[in-house]
Amino acid sequence: MARPIVGIIGNQYLLHDQYPAHAGGTMNSEAVSGVSGCMPLLIPADPRFVSVAELLETCDGFLLTGGRPNVHPAEYGHDATEAHGAFDRARDAITLPLVRACVERGQPFLGICRGYQEVAVAMGSTLHPEIRDLPGRMNHRMPPDGSLEEKFALRHTVRFAEGGVFHRLMGAQEVMTNTLHGQGVMQAGPRFVIDGWAPDDTPEAAFIADAPGFTLSVQWHPEYDAANDPVSRPLFAAFGEAVRAWAASRTPMRATA
C-alpha cells in the first residue's frame, strides 16, 4: 500500500554559490519517512512552479521546514530592516496561504523554526527580528562553530502549559530541546495559541485554536535525530497519524496524547 505523502517545503539555494536549486535537509526526509511513516516529497516553494490548490490535492500533509531566509515583515505590517536578515518572498507566497487553507480544511501540517514563524504570521502574529537583542533574552541562534552534533545539541528547556496539547503529547511538562533561530514571535495572533516557552519566556510551541486538524508547530528543530530523541519522536509520530487519517478519508485529526 502506498504511503501517504508529506510535502516538505523546500528552500531556494545556490549550489556552489552559482547554480540555483531548491533544497531540503535530509534529516527532514528521514523524520517524515522513518518516524511519521509517510513518503517525503520535496516542494519547490515558488508560485511560478506550484499553486496552493495543487499542493492541497497532491499532498496529504505538509512539513514547514526551517530555513535561513525569514518571513518578510511586510506580511505582518512592519518595515524591513537590516536586523530582519534575508528573505524568500516566493516561499512566503506559497506557505502563508497554504497554512490558512490547511487550517480551514483540517489538513495536517507541522511547522519547524521558520515554519513555526510562518504559521504564526499566517494567523496574524508579528515577529521580533532578533531575539538576543531583547532585554533578558538568551541567544537562541545556532553556534557558529562545531560539528553538526554540537550545533544541534540540546541547549535549553521548554516548559509546556499544564494539561495542554504538548504536555499530553510528550508526557512531560518540561523537555530539553536544541535552539537554532534568531527571530521569534512578538505578538501572537488571536488563534495562534502559545503552548510552550523557553526559560527566557520566548514562545517555543504553538497550535491553532478551534482548528479541526493537526496544527502543531515548534521553534526548535525536532527533525534532528528524530527517531531517537524522546521529544521529536512523539511529535513526528502524532503528525504521521494525522496524515494517515487525512489520506484515508479526508478526516481531520487533532494532536492527541
pLDDT > 90 fraction of the chain, expressed in percent and rounded? 75
Closest by alpha carbon to 255, among 104, 125, 110?
110
Phi, psi of 59 (to 5 degrees): -105, 155
- For residue 34, pLDDT beyond 90: yes
Give the separation between CA 25 and CA 38, rounded to whole angstroms. 16
pLDDT higher at 138 or 101? 101
- pLDDT at 256 > cutoff 80: no
Q: What is the pLDDT of residues 90-106, one digit of tens each?
A: 999 999 999 999 999 99
**Distance, C-alpha 207 to centroid of its chain:** 11
Burial class, 23, CB count within 10 angstroms (exposed 0-12 / middle 13-18 / buried 19+): middle
Which of 41, 42, 92 lies closest to 70, judged by CA? 92
CATH architecture classification, 5-249: 3-Layer(aba) Sandwich (3.40)
**Averaged pLDDT score across all residues of the chain:** 93
> How sure is the predictor about 6, in pLDDT bands with cuts at 50, 70 and 90?
very high
- pLDDT at position 140 is 83
- For residue 80, how many C-alpha atoms fall within 13 Å in the half-sphere facing its CB? 11
Please give the single-letter amino acid code of residue 159: R
Give the mean pLDDT of 223-229.
Answer: 97
Closest alpha carbon to 107 in 50, 176, 58, 158: 58
Q: Look up the pTM and report it.
A: 0.95
pLDDT at 187: 96
pLDDT digits 0-9 by tens, 54-103: 999 999 999 999 988 899 999 998 887 777 778 899 999 999 999 999 99
DSSP 146: S
**Residue 241 grid cell:** 497519524
The ranges assigned to domains in the chain are: 5-249
